[in-house]
A and B are shown apart, each in its own frame.
Chain A
Amino acid sequence: MNLVVNGEPRTLDVEARTLLVHALRDGLGLTGAHIGCDTSQCGACTILLDGRAVKSCTLLTVQAEGTEVTTIEGLARDGELHPVQRAFIEHHGLQCGFCTPGMILTAVDLLERHSDPDDETIRRSLRGNLCRCTGYHGIVEAIRAAAGERNGTS
């Protein structure tokens, strides 16, 4: 099957049952997609599929035929971190880091549709991403700051 991963066309030879997260991790070495649960709750495996955040643990690889996948490894451009990645660093939006790739990619999707989300919108949007370390405080601040930077209001 064929798909584009982080801008590069890829051909994968997988069983029908192979979940996309396993294909990304084991097949392509993209281990930034983490597996934190088996019931689609934690969001650590979140990727962008055609620009939208989805859980790569709840998708068969074959379902991604012909799509464009962006993983956390593909978010930086020309060696420059994405503004959301930078904001997570500056605003202490991470501790252990296991939820971080999923959090960031969900935030990227959120900011695509809401240019200036309030805290409630941010928090609601993170419902499918669990974090056990930070209490979400720094994560919310980071997303708010990234939105502000984009709108030139930071």
Chain B
Amino acid sequence: MDSVIGVPRPRTDSPEKVSGATRYAGDDVLPGLLHGWLVLSTEAHATIVSIEKEAALAVPGVVAVLTADDLPVVAEGSGRSNEPLARSEVVFSGQPIALVVAESEAAAEDGAEVVMVEYESLEPVLDLEGAMRPGAPLGRHPGEEDASGMESVHAAVGAGEQELPEEELSGNVLKRSFREEGDLEAAFETSDAVVSGRFETSWIYQSYLEPQTATAWIEPGGVLVVSASTQGAFMSRNELADLFGLPLDKVRVRAAPLGGAFGGKLMLVEPLAAGAALVLGRPVRLLLTRSEDFQASNPAPAAIFELRVGARRSGELTGLDARIVCDRGSTIEWGLEDISSTLVGGPYRWRAFAIRSYGVQTNRVTFGAYRGPGAPPAAFALESLLDELAAQLELDPIEFRLQNAVVEGDVGVSGRAFPVIGARECLERVREHPIWLERNSLPEDEGVGVAVGYWPGGNEPASAACRLDRDGRLTVVTAVADMTGTETTFAAIAAEVLGTTPENVRVVAADTASAPFAGVSGGSKITYTVGRAVERAAEQARERILYVASEELEIAPSDLEIVDGVVRAVGSPDRSLSLEEIAQKALAWGGRYEPIAGQGGVAQPSSAPAAAAHLAHVRVDHETGEVEILRYAVAQDVGRALNPALVEGQMRGGATQAIGWALYEELRYDEHGQLVTGSFLDYAIPTAERVPQIDTLIVEVPAPSGPFGAKGVGEAPVVAGPAAIANAVAAATGIRPRQLPMTAPRVWALLQEASTRTETPPA
């Protein structure tokens, strides 16, 4: 039988999806369903003086107006995870303040419209650098309870981090970290070129097409059930139990089919729907409108990267000096500054480095994960400067990168050794691509850029279960929220192990009451971890199948094989039993065999970093500043492409989101902290007419412990895209964009500035 690994196959959920039959979190029909509508703060920083509910309660159909005091929250401390509705201090415009619950969506909206909130305004903290200065107003007034929830500025030193030098900083700096190795100044002194730059990136909205949605109800026995657009059923269950003080067995969470997530769907709406259902005892659905989702979810945060890098004429990279400031918005629970400080070194070897990073609170929305959190800005800064170094030293940009690219065992700026990584192989692939080969024979307003980036890969213990049903088909059960087609891949993995076809494997995403544990779908780890668990569960089922067959056929298990769903003797295929026959024997009344089942678990020894190199071919309209992507290619190391169609889908989707980062996307806040790009009318994501067909080059450098060598593929294809496009714009124009997105007005302004410079005679 041919292997099913490496064969392109449509997602198994395709027929439902093309027929409109898939039931997303907002599609379930429940008797007596109530609808929630949020009242959001119109102030970026304020104290709530009063909330008037009466007018809303008088609207026909309105059942309740819930505020923070009404929710049965037992968790203390501030921060959004403990405070689904603002208690007293509002820390961002768009923060949920009240939830109106009504018999219809229209009535709920009518009610929400007349909830009157009185505020006492406080000064909003919006300027990132300004917020850090000693004496700056604080974005959040520290309460007594915050001592436990907030990380101190002198927080514990993590892996690879070192003692912090003294600095005068305001209390808005929630976290600092410092990494240092080697003699940086000596490294710069021995360099033949040193370049530096300050790079800025914007708040970026995940833009999943399905707004955040949760439906909650109470089942007999007082079990809170939540069906939500969530990336992590178990994580949501645990956090809901903590928030409301419920035993774990009184909370059941089901991850509904996701209409896109990209890191952003975790515990924003679940607590609100659940809280309302607990209070009212009826099913409640909260479905964010797009405008609310823009204002009140958790986009990727803005960052500032100040970098200085050096290299020798030989092409050897020397020193890296970095100062990184990450906007946390109003998030106090965690920050991206740590991960940014490890990613800023790229997949390269450095003689010496010093990396300082800061997480700063401002009065903007809470931030969240978005595909490769922290990575695209880091790559944008570093890969831009690497191109400048290459130009100054007259080195080929790809050869220069190849010369310094890490291989397994090289220690990165994180202080840890890199596991197997295919950065070099990706660069070697794009080196041969027509886009690169033709880069020097283009019209004057066109250019090609290259960049490479990587994602370290997530790692979390995971498990899976399977059973052989009486029809001879295997049912695999996991708790995974399927983001990238993982269920389709699990079916192929199990089929390959078992010796059957993927059509004979069904994969079920069960809720937290019955599924084996799996963590959040995020960090590019599901295939790498749960996929391995599925493989092991299927191996166990296979052993039991062979045992039954061995007993029945009186042939040693080692002399049996499973081909096309039939167990047969190696060399004499007429002595055989089908999986269906075996299943029936193992499920028979009074039978002598255990039911065929398998349990698999995994705790991977290391993560599996994935690298990707991008090529962008752009044309820049010098009159308008508009950048058009003419051709695009991505080479990515995926370990092993279990299903090339799905892998390519991730590569193209990631590259397209990179185009959004590079050219269009930006959540802009005005001087009062109000979001001014809060709809798809103002916030541009790439449309079909703005992206080309994207060429994919699959590189396979197997991950030693991944299923069949596979590693995660979701994050890597977004990382280096903005940098490649910036390098292409530089090649086409000679200007060096230092800010994302490179909108037409910004590129035009840079072109104007450059032409003024060249027109001005030297002094």
Contacts and interface: CB of A to CB of B under 8 A. Distances in A.
A48 to B, nearest CB: 13
Contacts of B210: 34, 36, 96, 98
Given A92-B10, A131-B209, A126 B649 contact: no
B23 interface: yes
B258 interface: yes
Contact of A132 (B211, B289, B685): B685
B291 interface: yes
Contacts of B106: 15, 17-18
B14 A94 contact: yes
B317 to A, nearest CB: 32
Nearest to B660: A132
Which of B14, B652, B656 has the most CB atoms of chain A within a 10 A radius of its CB? B14
A99 B287 CA distance: 17
A10 B600 CA distance: 51
Contact of B209 (A81, A119, A126, A130): A130
B209 A98 contact: yes
Contacts, number: 174
A89 interface: yes
Contact of A126 (B14, B16, B19, B688): B688
A100 B653 contact: no
A72 B13 CA distance: 16
B689 A123 contact: yes
Contact of A135 (B21, B290, B484, B694): B694
B88 to A, nearest CB: 30
B290 A32 contact: no
Interface string A83-103: 001101110101111111100
Nearest to A128: B687
Contacts of A73: 19-21
A38 B291 contact: yes
Nearest to B210: A98
B535 interface: no
B663 to A, nearest CB: 14
Q: Is the interface of A mostly helix, strand, loop or mixed?
A: loop
Interface string B1-44: 00000001011011111111111101101000000000000000
A36 B209 contact: yes
Contact of B657 (A33, A104, A123, A132): A132
Contacts of A25: 27
Contacts of B419: none
A71 interface: yes
A39 interface: yes
B18 A104 contact: yes
A7 interface: no
B300 to A, nearest CB: 14
B14 A89 contact: yes
Nearest to B484: A95
A17 B106 CA distance: 9
A38 B289 contact: yes
A137 interface: yes
B681 interface: yes
Contacts of A38: 289-291, 679
Interface string A25-46: 1000111111111110110100
Contacts of B13: 97
B14 A137 contact: no
A129 B687 CA distance: 8
Given A30-B20, A76-B19, A135-B691, A96 B258 contact: yes
A81 B15 contact: yes
A100 B573 CA distance: 45
Contacts of A113: none
Contacts of A36: 209-211, 259, 290
B679 A122 contact: no
B24 A98 contact: yes
Interface string B650-663: 00111111000000
A31 B27 contact: yes
A38 B294 CA distance: 11
A33 B26 CA distance: 11
A40 to B, nearest CB: 8
Given A34-B24, A98-B24, A135 B679 contact: no
Enumerate the 5 nearest inter-chain pairs by beta-carbon distance, A residue then B residue, closest first.
A32-B20, A97-B17, A98-B259, A135-B656, A72-B20
Interface of A: 15, 17-18, 22, 25, 29-39, 41-42, 44, 71-73, 75-76, 81, 85-86, 88-90, 92, 94-101, 104, 119-120, 122-124, 126-127, 129-140
Given A98-B209, A98-B260, A134-B656, 5 more contacts: A42-B680, A92-B648, A95-B11, A126-B688, A135-B691
